[in-house]
Each structure stands twice: as structure tokens, then as C-alpha cells.
Chain A
Amino acid sequence: AQSVTQPDIHITVSEGASLELRCNYSYGATPYLFWYVQSPGQGLQLLLKYFSGDTLVQGIKGFEAEFKRSQSSFNLRKPSVHWSDAAEYFCAVGAPGTASKLTFGTGTRLQVTL
């Protein structure tokens, strides 16, 4: 069975600084990978996804993520954080060829200081 680890529970960055949120997965092959964002009181919104091909994927709101097979990682990055990016971020993994239920990490809460 697949699993996801987000080692950072809470991260604080200054507005305008760069951001990297870590995600490591465990799966026997190349999984489908996702990043979701959850703003307070909101449901989850998909930021980006990786299925195959180019290992650097672009998403909404200026986010990108890079799939690194050798490190079993799918880290989320943003060059310059905005105060509105403060939210909780979830990495998720899906198993190709099976039903599309996802396994989520425990999330990383991002705080942005002005």
C-alpha cells in the first residue's frame, strides 16, 4: 500500500521569500502525485498533479513541484510567497490503474509573516 510523509508540520516564511514544502512517498512503482491546498474553512483545492512525463510540473497560483524518483519525493516550491498563500498544504498519492482514491499526508501548515 502507498503512503505519504510530510516531515514538516509547520513552516513560517516571510512574504516574498521562497518556499519549499517536502513530500516523500512510498509506492512500488511510479505513483500519481498531487498537491492540494486547504485555506481556513475551505475544502481542498488541487494545486498541481503529476502523472508521467516532464518531472517538473507547473500548477496554479505560481506553484511548481518536481518529481524525483531516486528520492521518492515530490516537493512543492514557490519562488516568492504571498501572504494569501498561508494555508495548509497536503501531498497525496494515487496508484495508477486502480480506483482513484488517494492517500494523503498529514499536511504542512504554512504561515506567512509580513
Chain B
Amino acid sequence: GAGVSQSPSNKVTEKGKDVELRCDPISGHTALYWYRQSLGQGLEFLIYFQGNSAPDKSGLPSDRFSAERTGGSVSTLTIQRTQQEDSAVYLCASSLSRRAYEQYFGPGTRLTVT
């Protein structure tokens, strides 16, 4: 079956612009996660959605970052007024449920802020 997909695969933007990154989870997966992977760093948790529950936003680094998940499926991560330090690979993952723990990752979106 289809895995997690993300778009775009690459995004180059100018400092100060807003960007939207999209994630399509595996069908039937109720939990969705966003991570950020900076050069030489591990994965940094950003936000987590589970069904219709309020998202866990504890990892968002600033109020320039937001995410939504429509209809319990597709999610969009928005970064407003991008800064150069936002340059990273943004990874999306989904899991069958909140307690499934086994996460399936998409290929990521490489964001470059110039």
C-alpha cells in the first residue's frame, strides 16, 4: 500500500516568506507527527496529532510555526516569516494509533531559506 507522502520534496524560499509543507499519512493511521532534522542533528519533535484530540504542540520552536490536520488525514505545517535557521529537512510520520509507537516516515521536505 501507499506510504507516507510529503510535498514538495524540496523548497527554496527567501527569508521572510511563508511556506507550507504538506503530509499525506498512511490511510487509516490516526496519529501524525512532524519532526525537524537539521544538519548534524537528530530528529526534533515538533507537533503530534491524534484523531480529533487537541494536538501536542510542545515541540514547536516558535509561534512562527503552526500545523493543522484537516479531516483527520492530510496535515500542513506552516512556517511564517522564515528565517535561515529554519533550513532543515522536515519529516512527517504516521502511526496506526496513539499507542502504536511504530511510526512510518515520509521522505521529507528539504527546506532552504536564503
Q: Which residues of A contact B (CB under 8 A)?
A: 4, 6, 32, 34, 36, 41-46, 49, 51, 90, 92, 94, 99-107
Contact = CB atoms under 8 A, between A and B. Distances in A.
A1 to B, nearest CB: 11
Interface string B7-48: 000000000000000000000000101010000111101001
Nearest to A102: B103
25 contacts: A4-B42, A32-B101, A41-B107, A43-B93, A43-B105, A43-B106, A43-B107, A44-B91, A44-B93, A44-B103, A45-B105, A46-B104, A49-B101, A49-B102, A99-B48, A100-B95, A100-B101, A100-B103, A101-B33, A101-B56, A102-B101, A104-B43, A105-B42, A106-B42, A107-B42
A49 B50 CA distance: 22
Q: Which of B3, B103, B106 has the most chain A CB within a 10 Å cutoff?
A: B103
Contact of B45 (A45, A102, A106, A107): A102
B42 A94 contact: no
Interface centre among B35, B40, B43, B91, by most chain A C-beta atoms within 10 angstroms, is B43
